[in-house]
């Protein structure tokens, strides 16, 4: 398909709402760069028939024509900013894979995408174990207690002891683990896995690159096993399983759904080993689209009225249209093309005539969508992150919180005559959620402070200010790395008195935010003022307009 093409989706057989919800599984992959997210995604798409050959996901990225200034930036940096939702059918399921931008430099969008996910796959490199980005993303999943499925990747390479990988998850994340399969050897001596439930050995055969592996299954007492797996490796694996059976928790689907127990799978995405068994088990254990909390209580996905919320906005996906797209997670009811919906924040009604599904660069005009699906809507500046759309009785979902930024920089406008455009750009980009804005408490320092999760967010903001608003700006980094909101706001801060080694600023809702240079300064302050309650995530404010520049 050409890039940026639009198609009309062919209508399949009409499903009842209950059937559509039952067959849907929605998840995001959380991982550190290089753990193999692209490779795993590709293999999953391959099984789902959504792509025909391995390499297509990357090739698509590399072949991509310059489709916007923003993508030009993406191209220069050789990374993927554009997160999309990949939908594909596999067996009797419809799977929505929410693609999280994974580069180390990026971004609050990654966190927001997790707000739309019902399940997460935590992907680890067997040699590296838990890595920083994974831990941060895990914390966001934990806020909503979503089920976590762990895939320990790159078993074809030398890795850490499997038992210590499980220990690390238990001790660092406080998650109980339940290994679904157990590896026999590792690296050059990786011979396969034992399925703990069936006690079958799945033998690892290095498949030709890009091809699906054969997945030979043998019973433990099969005499052929001796020719394929060294005796000592098999014995070691069986002893370890015995140990797990003796000490580990039982696999309990309720604990999985509560986000307290993670099923663990070992495999190798690149060589295609263990991906299909993982997908099969995942689909059995993952939760279908779940009920969501709204202002008036929980909304069940089977509620016939359509409801959904905006979790991500993206500008300039296609420069020929200078378009903006709002991504909406459908939460209840059946969404239909040309539907008129209400916009909870403004009270306006809107007819949604061109809802889209976006697969990489391709657009598909959708006729209908169900809970767990994501649709893209053209956004002429109307939608903001966290907005609710609904039909029937008014519903307003809890918004999406602001996540702790880690990079802070003054944004200077050296040209006073461009102030109007500067102000418009800063306000619009903040509304869009491209970056967080903080303000100095000293009224004479009027320039905004940009606060971001990754450096690239700042570059995107500067780039867009220049190309969309005609304002060339200058960044002046502030040497802080951590932000904490003060529970209880200004009154609690006043009770504490003078604070050292931190800077007090305010967010657009005039709440105090403390900036710290490092963890040490933060811990010092917590030690000095044990009564002070700090939060790394800002609660959602509803019904109050934020301050503009």
39 binds ligand G4P (CB under 6 A): yes
Comparing C-alpha atoms, which of 197, 129, 185, 122 is closest to residue 156?
185
Which C-beta is closer to ligand G4P: that of 180 or that of 471?
180
Binding residue (CB under 6 A) for ligand G4P from 4, 38, 379, 462: 38
87 binds ligand G4P (CB under 6 A): no
Q: Select from 36-44, 177-185, 300-308, 403-411 the region that touches ligand G4P (CB under 6 A).
A: 36-44
Q: Select from 175-183, 188-196, 265-273, 357-365 the region that touches ligand G4P (CB under 6 A).
A: 265-273
270 binds ligand G4P (CB under 6 A): yes
What is the closest distance, in whole angstroms, from the C-beta atom of residue 128 to ligand G4P in the complex? Answer: 11
What is the closest distance, in whole angstroms, from the C-beta atom of residue 46 to ligand G4P in the complex? Answer: 13
Longest dimension (CA), the chain: 83
Query: Is the separation of the CB atoms in 327 and 376 below 8 Å?
Result: yes
The residue written with tokens 């997460």 in the block is 120
35 binds ligand G4P (CB under 6 A): yes
181 binds ligand G4P (CB under 6 A): no
Strand partners, 476: 410
83 binds ligand G4P (CB under 6 A): no
CA 58-62-67 angle, to 5 degrees, is 120
Query: Is the separation of the CB atoms in 479 and 517 below 8 Å?
Result: yes
- Cis check for the bond before 519: say yes or no (omega within 30 of 0): no
Residues 271-310 that bind ligand G4P (CB under 6 A): 271
Q: Tell how far CA 243 is from the center of its chain.
A: 34
154 binds ligand G4P (CB under 6 A): yes
262 binds ligand G4P (CB under 6 A): no
131 binds ligand G4P (CB under 6 A): no
Which C-beta is closer to ligand G4P: that of 61 or that of 392?
61
Sign, Cα dihedral of 506, 312, 382, 456 = positive
Strand partners, 294: 297, 397
- Report the alpha-carbon distance of residue 478 to residue 408 in Å, rounded: 5
CA 389-320-65 angle, to 5 degrees, is 110
153 binds ligand G4P (CB under 6 A): yes
What is the closest distance, in whole angstroms, from the C-beta atom of residue 487 to ligand G4P in the complex? Answer: 36
Q: What is the DSSP letter of 518?
A: S
Which C-beta is closer to ligand G4P: that of 162 or that of 508?
162
Comparing C-alpha atoms, which of 155, 345, 342 is closest to residue 233?
155
Query: Is the separation of the CB atoms in 322 and 316 below 8 Å?
Result: yes
Binding residue (CB under 6 A) for ligand G4P from 75, 157, 354, 517: 157
Structure tokens at 297: 């209580």
How many C-beta atoms lie closer than 10 Å to residue 231's C-beta? 9
Which C-beta is closer to ligand G4P: that of 26 or that of 272?
272
What is the closest distance, in whole angstroms, from the C-beta atom of residue 425 to ligand G4P in the complex? Answer: 32
> Helix, strand or coil for residue 331?
strand
Binding residue (CB under 6 A) for ligand G4P from 34, 195, 215, 466: 34
Residues 442-501 that bind ligand G4P (CB under 6 A): none
Which C-beta is closer to ligand G4P: that of 153 or that of 176?
153
What is the closest distance, in whole angstroms, from the C-beta atom of residue 233 to ligand G4P in the complex? Answer: 19
Which C-beta is closer to ligand G4P: that of 81 or that of 471?
81
186 binds ligand G4P (CB under 6 A): no
Which C-beta is closer to ligand G4P: that of 210 or that of 539?
210
Size of the site for ligand G4P (CB under 6 A): 17
Query: Is the separation of the CB atoms in 437 and 430 below 8 Å?
Result: yes
Which C-beta is closer to ligand G4P: that of 207 or that of 228?
207
Q: Which residues contact 302 (CB under 8 A, 6 or more apart)?
A: 17, 18, 21, 332
37 binds ligand G4P (CB under 6 A): yes
Q: Select from 5-13, 33-41, 251-259, 443-451 the region that touches ligand G4P (CB under 6 A).
A: 33-41
60 binds ligand G4P (CB under 6 A): no
Binding residue (CB under 6 A) for ligand G4P from 108, 156, 200, 428: 156
Binding residue (CB under 6 A) for ligand G4P from 165, 194, 234, 269: 269
Residue 107 main-chain phi, psi, to 5 deg: 180, 170
Q: Select from 108-116, 133-141, 266-274, 486-494 the region that touches ligand G4P (CB under 6 A).
A: 266-274
Binding residue (CB under 6 A) for ligand G4P from 9, 17, 22, 33: 33
Strand partners, 27: 97, 119
Comparing C-alpha atoms, which of 372, 369, 346, 366 is closest to residue 354?
366
Q: Select from 32-40, 486-494, 511-519, 527-535 the region that touches ligand G4P (CB under 6 A).
A: 32-40
The three-state (H, E, C) secondary structure of 476-494, written as one string: EEECCCEEEEECCHHHHHH
Length of the chain in residues, anyone? Answer: 549
- Report the alpha-carbon distance of residue 242 to residue 220 in Å, rounded: 14
- Report the alpha-carbon distance of residue 145 to residue 123 in Å, rounded: 18
What is the closest distance, in whole angstroms, from the C-beta atom of residue 406 to ligand G4P in the complex? Answer: 20
Residue 28 main-chain phi, psi, to 5 deg: -125, 155
The H or E element containing residue 90 is: strand 85-90
Strand partners, 182: 194
Which C-beta is closer to ligand G4P: that of 33 or that of 539?
33
99 binds ligand G4P (CB under 6 A): no
108 binds ligand G4P (CB under 6 A): no
Structure tokens at 498: 């003078």
Give contact residues for ligand G4P (rule: CB under 6 A).
31, 33-39, 102, 153-154, 156-157, 268-271
């Amino acid at each position: 398909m050409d890039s940026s093409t639009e198609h009309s989706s062919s209508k399949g057989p009409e499903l009842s709402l209950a059937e559509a919800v039952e067959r849907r599984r929605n998840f995001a992959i959380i991982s550190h760069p290089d753990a193999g997210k692209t490779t795993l995604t590709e293999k999953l798409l391959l099984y789902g028939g959504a792509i025909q050959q391995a390499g297509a996901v990357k090739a698509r990225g590399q072949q991509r024509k310059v489709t916007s200034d923003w993508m030009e930036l993406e191209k220069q940096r050789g990374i993927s900013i554009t997160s999309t939702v990949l939908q594909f059918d596999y067996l009797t399921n419809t799977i929505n894979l929410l693609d999280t931008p994974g580069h180390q430099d990026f971004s609050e969008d990654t966190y927001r995408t997790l707000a739309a996910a019902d399940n997460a796959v935590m992907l680890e490199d067997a040699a590296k174990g838990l890595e920083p980005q994974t831990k941060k993303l895990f914390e966001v999943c934990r806020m909503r207690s979503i089920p976590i499925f762990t895939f320990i990747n790159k078993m074809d390479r030398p890795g850490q002891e499997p038992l210590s990988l499980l220990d690390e998850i238990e001790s660092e994340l406080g998650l109980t683990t339940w290994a679904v399969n157990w590896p026999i050897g590792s690296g050059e001596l990786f011979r396969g896995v034992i399925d703990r439930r069936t006690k079958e050995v799945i033998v690892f055969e290095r498949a030709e690159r890009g091809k699906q592996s054969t997945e030979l299954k043998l019973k433990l007492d099969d005499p052929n096993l001796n020719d394929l797996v060294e005796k000592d490796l098999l014995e070691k694996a069986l002893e370890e399983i015995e140990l797990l059976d003796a000490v580990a928790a039982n696999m309990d689907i309720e604990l999985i759904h509560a986000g307290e127990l993670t099923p663990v799978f070992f495999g190798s995405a690149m060589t295609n080993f263990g991906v299909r068994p993982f997908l099969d088990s995942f689909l059995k254990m993952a939760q279908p689209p779940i009920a969501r909390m709204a202002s008036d209580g929980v909304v069940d996905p089977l509620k016939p009225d359509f409801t959904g919320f905006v979790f991500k906005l993206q500008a300039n996906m296609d420069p020929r249209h200078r378009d903006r797209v709002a991504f909406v997670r459908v939460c209840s009811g059946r969404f239909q093309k040309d539907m008129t919906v209400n916009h909870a924040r403004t009270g306006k009604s809107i007819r949604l005539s061109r809802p889209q599904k976006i697969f990489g660069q391709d657009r598909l005009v959708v006729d209908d969508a169900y809970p767990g699906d994501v649709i893209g809507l053209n956004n002429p500046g109307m939608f903001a992150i966290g907005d609710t759309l609904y039909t029937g009785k008014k519903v307003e979902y809890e918004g999406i919180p602001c996540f702790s930024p880690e990079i802070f920089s003054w944004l200077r406008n050296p040209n006073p005559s461009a102030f109007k455009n500067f102000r418009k750009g800063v306000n619009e980009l903040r509304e869009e959620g491209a970056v967080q804005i903080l303000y100095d408490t000293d009224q004479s320092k009027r320039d905004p402070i940009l606060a971001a999760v990754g450096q690239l967010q700042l570059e995107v903001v500067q780039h867009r200010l220049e190309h969309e608003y005609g304002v060339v700006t200058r960044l002046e980094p502030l040497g802080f790395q951590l932000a904490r909101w003060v529970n209880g706001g200004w009154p609690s801060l006043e009770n504490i008195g003078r604070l050292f080694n931190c800077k007090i600023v305010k967010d657009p809702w005039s709440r105090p935010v403390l900036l710290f240079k490092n963890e040490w300064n933060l811990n010092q302050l917590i030690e000095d003022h044990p009564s002070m309650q700090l939060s790394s995530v800002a609660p959602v404010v509803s019904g109050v307009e934020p301050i503009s520049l």
